[in-house]
Structure 1
Amino acid sequence: MTSRTVFITGAAAGIGRATALTFARKGWTVGGYDLDEAGLATLATEIEAVGATAVVGRLDVTDADAFRDAVDDFVQQTGRLDVLVNNAGILLAGKFEDIDVARHHKEIDVNVRGVVNGAHAAHPHLKPGSTLVNLCSASAIYGQAELANYSATKFFVRGLTEALDIEWGPQGIRVVALWPLFVQTAMLEGVRTGTTDTLGVRLGPQDVADEILATVEPGRAARAIHQVHFPVGRQTQVLSVASRFSPAWLTRVVNKRFAAH
């Protein structure tokens, strides 16, 4: 029987790399894609060291044609696509008006267009029982000061995930979103906002990787309730539950206090 396969963007470092190695240790065939070719080379070596098969390649997720070609090539080599993880992303922190608009646009390109491109490229190959995983964020619970544009991109990911879950569900395809708070990765280096100061950085890449693996192999209870959003970590779980039961004005007040320096 052909091993199950996973295609991961942003795989050279951080959450993507941890996810690739986590799936590899479970015997999956892993596709790792990134702009960092040196990082991909060492990733492939590590995947093969645990006895799994690696397929790696350079990919700019904002290029729809390149994304489609990468997924098509991966499936041609492996014979199937069981999971695609839209992980690639960038984060800009600071006052909205102090960040050059071109950088805002770049963040939107990667975090929004990249996810759209991944979903569109994956769909022809996704069969009943397969899963599209989108990396969302706790910043999609309520807009985050000093992370305004980033937060907005994650609201897009949230909405797209919910819509595609409804559209693709009848085809037997699961579409889910992972919701970590702040994760200790290179993307967060040098980032300091009122919210990071207040809540801290309590998650590592492995925490998210473990949750992704658990999500694509859900237990009977999770399937029964058809869970779409998966908060990662105790903090995000608390914030997610609180936002569902708190009035909008209270959620705003809480987030305003989190953001206060």
Structure 2
Amino acid sequence: MQSIFISGAAQGIGAAIATLFHQQGYKVGIYDINISQAEQLAQQLGNNAKAGLLDVSDYAQWQAALTEFTAWAGELNILVNNAGILYSGAFENTDIQSHHRTVDINIKGVLNGCHAALPFLKTASFARVINLSSASAIYGQPDLVSYSASKFAVRGITEALDIEWKKYGIRVLDVMPLFVQTAMVKNMDAASIDNMGVHLTASDVAKDVYSRARAKDTLFTATHLPVGLKTKVLFGLSSVSPQFVNRLSNLLIARRK
């Protein structure tokens, strides 16, 4: 029985991932800064689900959580770096501490998770990392500056480690959803969400994470997986369109009505 460790798994996309993988017979680690909510989900799932405390910005907590989980599960097969936060609105209207917190959780959290997990992944019979990136990593998004920047960083980490860790037989992949129906996008102050809409569910993203976990390791296995039709179109166009066209399209997407 393979195992999966998910950060930020107490609610939203993380909870949907935990639920789906548990249904598919995996041992599931539900780790979150909200320990009570994580424990509640683990109890709902039952056997082969374990909850634990994890502040992803704290490297020592990562080490403790992964050691605890691996001792329980037997080995660590899949790491999902899901934990993330979002602040929206004009860049200057968001206090600098909030921008820094976005970096601490969305970027440092992924760096911490990958770095702390490598010793466990290297000894596993099968090992894979799946990061939660975003359509915001296709082109910088106004009113979501630090969030968009953080997801560009996740995209870069994914690409670099997918090449670097080939020597260990570890694929590092990501999923790139547009806006998802979770608490994170409620009351967002960004024109792009009004213009693009919210059409994806947490279950939609979880299904694509599962496909990433099951994907064969070949030269043709894409490092990035856009989630949803709109993201696929934007991702495809960005790779072939001139830069000024990409900028213009994002100006239109971000235009306030």
> Does the pair score TM above 0.5?
yes
Contact 1:9/1:86 (8 A) holds in 2:
yes
Name the Cα RMSD after superposition: 1.1
- 1:8-64 Cα shifts (integer Å, max 9, x gaps): 01111000000000000001000000111221122112211xxx4111111100000
Q: Could you list the runs of 5+ residues in structure 2 that have no partner in the other structure?
A: none
Contact 2:143/2:189 (8 A) holds in 1:
no
The structure 2 residue matched to 1:91, chosen from 86, 90, 93, is 86
Q: Which amino acid in the other structure matches residue 167 of structure 1?
A: E
Q: Hey, what does 1:45 align to over in structure 2?
A: 43
Separation of aligned partners in 2, 1:140 and 1:226 = 20
Separation of aligned partners in 2, 1:67 and 1:237 = 33
Q: Hey, what does 1:111 align to over in structure 2?
A: 106
Alignment of 1:10 with 2:25, yes or no, is: no
Q: Hey, what does 2:56 align to over in structure 1?
A: 61
| 1:128 CA displacement | 5.7
| 1:71 CA displacement | 0.5
Q: Hey, what does 2:18 align to over in structure 1?
A: 20
Q: Hey, what does 1:173 align to over in structure 2?
A: 170
Contact 1:59/1:67 (8 A) holds in 2:
yes
Separation of aligned partners in 2, 1:27 and 1:153 = 32
Output the TM-score relative to the length of structure 2. Answer: 0.96
Secondary structure of the residue aligned to 2:163 is: helix
- 1:175-234 Cα shifts (integer Å, max 9, x gaps): 001100000101111113111011000101000001000111015xx7340310011111
Secondary structure of the residue aligned to 2:85 is: coil
Alignment of 1:156 with 2:144, yes or no, is: no
Separation of aligned partners in 2, 1:189 and 1:42 = 23
Separation of aligned partners in 1, 2:226 and 2:126 = 22
Q: Which amino acid in the other structure matches residue 17 of structure 1?
A: A
Match runs of 1:116-155 below 5 Å: 116-126=111-121, 127=124, 129-155=126-152
User: Aligned pair in 2 of structure 1 residues 172, 45: CA closer, same or farther (>3 Å)?
Assistant: same
- 1:94-133 Cα shifts (integer Å, max 9, x gaps): 0001100011101110001100000011111113631111
Q: Hey, what does 1:255 align to over in structure 2?
A: 250
Q: Hey, what does 1:72 align to over in structure 2?
A: 67
Matched positions, count: 254
Contact 1:137/1:154 (8 A) holds in 2:
yes
Contact 1:128/1:173 (8 A) holds in 2:
no
Contact 1:21/1:46 (8 A) holds in 2:
no
Separation of aligned partners in 2, 1:223 and 1:18 = 27
Q: Which amino acid in the other structure matches residue 253 of structure 1?
A: L
Q: Hey, what does 1:200 align to over in structure 2?
A: 197
Contact 1:128/1:171 (8 A) holds in 2:
no
Contact 2:135/2:231 (8 A) holds in 1:
yes
Secondary structure of the residue aligned to 1:8 is: strand
Separation of aligned partners in 2, 1:128 and 1:34 = 26
Secondary structure of the residue aligned to 2:78 is: strand
Percent of aligned positions that are identical: 44
Secondary structure of the residue aligned to 2:173 is: strand
The runs of at least 4 consecutive aligned structure 1 residues that moved more than 6 Å come to none
